[in-house]
Amino acid sequence: MSGKKYLTRPALRERYGGIADITVARWIESGRIDPPLLINNRHYFDEAKLDESDRRHAASFQRARANPAKHRPPQRNNTIEGILPTD
């Protein structure tokens, strides 16, 4: 039986293509990934929880692609008459 695997913050950043520390903080704040364990002033991320989070995020992305937004932004009037105020 193998034990759990944990990633340090630098290893986590590398796992996701060298993302910035601020991105990691934003993902934690938004719930995209679970908060890390803090042991001896170091952050450790549970690899199994990261894998689950990735699956959840990928499924959400696929659902969003399958059902695109039905609202379209209004067309802009890029003529001089549409830009200049009328008196």
Residue 77 lies in a domain: no
Find, among 1, 6, 11, the residue nearest to 48 by Cα. Answer: 6
Residue 69 lies in a domain: no
Banded model confidence at residue 3, pLDDT cuts 50, 70, 90: confident
Dist. CA 77–CA 87, nearest whole Å: 18
Q: Is the pLDDT of residue 1 over 50?
A: no
- Give residue 32's domain range: 6-64
If one counts the domains in the chain, the total is: 1
For residue 85, the model assigns a pLDDT of 62
**Half-sphere exposure (CA, 13 Å, Cβ side) for 59?**
6
Residue 78 lies in a domain: no
Average pLDDT over residues 29-45: 94
Strand order in the sheet with 37-39: 6-8, 42-46, 37-39
Residue 70 lies in a domain: no
Banded model confidence at residue 26, pLDDT cuts 50, 70, 90: very high
Residue 48 lies in a domain: yes
Dist. CA 81–CA 86, nearest whole Å: 8
Structure tokens at 58: 């990928």
